[in-house]
Structure 1
Amino acid sequence: MQGWITRLLLCLSLTVISGCDSPGPALRIGTNVWPGYEPLYLAREQGLYDHHIKLVELPSASDVMDALRMGHLEGGALSLDEVLSLVQEGQDLVVVLVFSFSAGADVIMAHPNIKTLGDLRGKTIALETTAVGALMLKNAMEFAELQDDALHIRHIGLSDHLNAYKAGSIDAMITFEPFSSELAHAGAHVLFDSSAIKGQIVDVLAIRREVITQQQRPIQELIQGYFKARRMLRTTPAAALAIMNQRMRLPEDDVGKMFDGIELADIAENRRLLSGDPSPLSRHSDHLALIMVKQKLMMTPPALKHFTTPRFLPESS
């Protein structure tokens, strides 16, 4: 029953964009709220996208994955491990852009009485049902030498973490901005962050393979607009951050730290990572898939063929 309700809600939200029965001509790109994706929305606010490009904000990465599974999106902004999970399920996706690397932006936060990772033993931790949450939890538990049954795990949406924390029903949570700033103001502190597993959490734009040939121009315009917004972020950071914060809604004191712990990949780095067959990102993906199999996040590693392309990247920023 719950699965049908989720599908109905997704369908209703996406009907506003283009309808659930037909994909239509629009390039629909799903995202959740995450600083690394915000230049896409900055580009939209600057009028860089026409009606053929539709950004669809969904509550979580899990919802973006579900919408891709159901064919309601042409592409999605996801972490690399989430894309690998979809490919392993049979979704034929191609990575056309690397947004960023998490180098401290994904965090485990906890009540101030919990001083170390070892203190989590017997406590309740909240996380989303995503591979990123599982990767963060597994690595933190290995660092602390905690067994799999040492913690009580609750799968709670990111937007509900704060209320659960204030109510005392959870002791710790796996989160990121803008939610981590809210939790910090409520007294929670960082126990572990993704800088300890640098390189494992990569955010990318993945497009359905059949769309690559069908909608070449919108994809190119989408990525060009993204890098134009990145240029605005470099040249007029205060104005760009103010626009992006209309969606992020960070406290004023935290706006300037929006991209702390995030390494944004420029055009040159994208070209290096996406070029060749296998590309450097494909080789990294093979390694990451083996880690995911070891951590029981997937049964077998997916076969990655022509998994990346640099063809839509602009010549320069």
Structure 2
Amino acid sequence: MRRSLGPLLAAALWSVTPGFLAPASAQEAPVKVGYAKCAHCLPVALLPGLAKGATIEATGFNSGNDVLTALIAKSLDVAQVTYLHYVTALDKGFDIVAVAGEVNGGSECLSSKALNLTADDWGGFKAAVEKAKAAGTPLKVAASRGNAQDIHMRGAFLKQGINPNKDVQFVNIPNPSDHLAAMQRGEIDMVCSVEPFASQIRMAGAAVRFVLPYDQAAGNLTNLIVTRSDVIAKNRAGVQAVVDADVALVEKLKADKGVWVDVINQKTGLSKEVAAAAIENAEPDYRMHRAKTLAIAAMMRDLKYIGRDVSADVEKHMDFSFLEAATRKTRDGLGY
């Protein structure tokens, strides 16, 4: 008799509340969102708690390159990447659609104490570059190749008359969390790192701030929320739910920096002091900046990071309709 209670109870509940006990396979699958592990990216981990109308599953990756790879491989539905990743993907002909911004900033160039540079001392840096180059031992400048900080640094150098491909020796350190150790070991003379690792380097006394490299075509633009056209076609409501949550997230970050500090602390293990310093170099912004994106694409072509003019693709693959629905603003007020 006891064995029959389970099936009978289930049947009774099913008859009273049709669909209440529907199997998971019949329910809407979660929207899979990926993000990188940096100060301006980690808030994406909060999207699931802000979602309405869909379930969001957020997963962290070591870098934006890894996130983009997962999106293209269809392991993700939506990804937080950078404007630079967006342009690179278009250059390669990948199916990618930008739907919102998230947080900008997060880049800092730090110099070794041996260079004896003060903040924004481009004259002193250029003199050091020329001296080292003439001696046959060019300065070693590190970044994580292809991320926003790499491009910000290269653009800023180029604007100051320093060729990042010829005047210095570039050192690729893919995982930004490894930047501190490389500087401590004296393997590099300068690094353009991402927050919170830039603040970690500075607060550990391993290097000093040289410049925030925003004086170039990209400005401080960093993050985009992107998806693929097949995801939009299959689950437009899910993409809209992500953008709605993103808009709510940006407003939350503006109103409560404590939430931001907490998520950085929890996801990286770095202290709240480092996290608090990191977000001073970050700007929540859900807009997509079309004109500057075109300028970024032109700069990336000049730097030979892309091989063709992708201006038409940039225009074609920015879909403002989700932001318009989320904010009830027209695209002209959303960065178009």
TM range (shorter): 0.7 to 0.9
Runs (4+) off by over 6 Å: none
Which amino acid is the alignment partner of residue 90 of structure 2?
A: V
| 8 Å CA contact retained: 2:96, 2:227 | yes
Moved more, 189-198 or 232-241: 232-241
Structure 2 residue 78 is matched with structure 1 residue 66: no
Equivalent residue letter for 2:242: L
Contact 2:95 2:229 in 1 (8 A): yes
Aligned residues: 279
Match for residue 125 of structure 2?
A: 117
Q: Is the 8 A contact 1:41 1:244 kept in 2?
A: no
Change (3 A) 1:70 1:48: closer
Task: Give matches, 1:55-134, under 5 Å.
Answer: 55-102=58-105, 105-114=106-115, 115=117, 116-118=124-126, 119-120=128-129, 121=132, 122-134=138-150
State the 1:240 CA deviation.
4.8
**2:43 aligned with 1:33:** no
Q: Which has the larger radius of gyration?
A: 2
The residue number in structure 2 matching 1:237 is: 257
User: Aligned partners of 2:267, 2:70: CA distance in 1, in Å?
Assistant: 21
Q: Please state if 1:168 is matched with 2:186.
A: yes
Cα distance in structure 1, aligned partners of 2:54 and 2:320: 24
TM-score (ref. length: structure 1): 0.77
Tell me, in whole angstroms, the C-alpha distance in 2 between the residues paired with 1:69 and 1:225: 23
Question: What is the alpha-carbon distance in structure 1 between the residues aligned to residue 227 and residue 85 of structure 2?
Answer: 13
Q: How does 1:77-226 map to 2 (within 5 A)?
A: 77-102=80-105, 105-114=106-115, 115=117, 116-118=124-126, 119-120=128-129, 121=132, 122-147=138-163, 148-157=165-174, 158-184=176-202, 185-197=204-216, 199-200=218-219, 201-226=221-246
1:96-131, Cα deviation, whole Å (9 max, x unpaired): 1011332xx311112112214322442212211215
What displacement does 1:261 show?
2.6
Alpha-carbon shift at residue 139 of structure 1 (Å):
2.6
1:181-235 Cα shifts (integer Å, max 9, x gaps): 2211133112121332364433111110111121122222222223333343344
Q: Percent identity?
A: 16
Is it true that 1:315 corresponds to 2:332 in the alignment? Answer: no
Name stretches of at least 5 consecutive residues in structure 2 with no aligned partner: 1-27, 118-123, 133-137, 330-336
What's the CA shift string for 1:35-64, capped at 9, x where partnerless?
A: 3333321233x3647884222211111212
Amino acid at match of 1:245: N
Select which of 43, 46, 50 maps to 2:47: 43
Indicate conservation of the 8 Å contact 2:180/2:206, yes or no.
no
Tell me how far apart the structure 1 counterparts of residues 269 and 53 of structure 2 sit (CA, whole Å). Answer: 26
8 Å CA contact 2:81–2:223 kept in 1: the answer is yes
Deviation at 1:83, TM superposition (A): 0.6
CA spacing shift, 1:242–1:134, aligned 2, 3 Å: closer
Q: CA RMSD in A?
A: 2.7
**Equivalent-residue separation in structure 2 for 1:109 and 1:155 (angstroms):** 15
Q: Aligned residue for 1:15? A: none
Q: Which runs of 5+ in 1 are unaligned?
A: 1-23, 274-280
1:159 Cα offset (Å): 1.7
Q: Which amino acid aligns with 1:310?
A: F
Instruction: Determine which of 280, 284, 288 is the counterpart of 1:260.
Output: 280
Going from structure 1 to structure 2, the CA distance change for 1:31 and 1:308 (only over 3 Å counts) comes to same
Asked if the contact 1:42/1:244 (under 8 Å) is kept, the reply is no
Cα shift at 1:179: 0.7
TM-score, normalising length from structure 2? 0.73
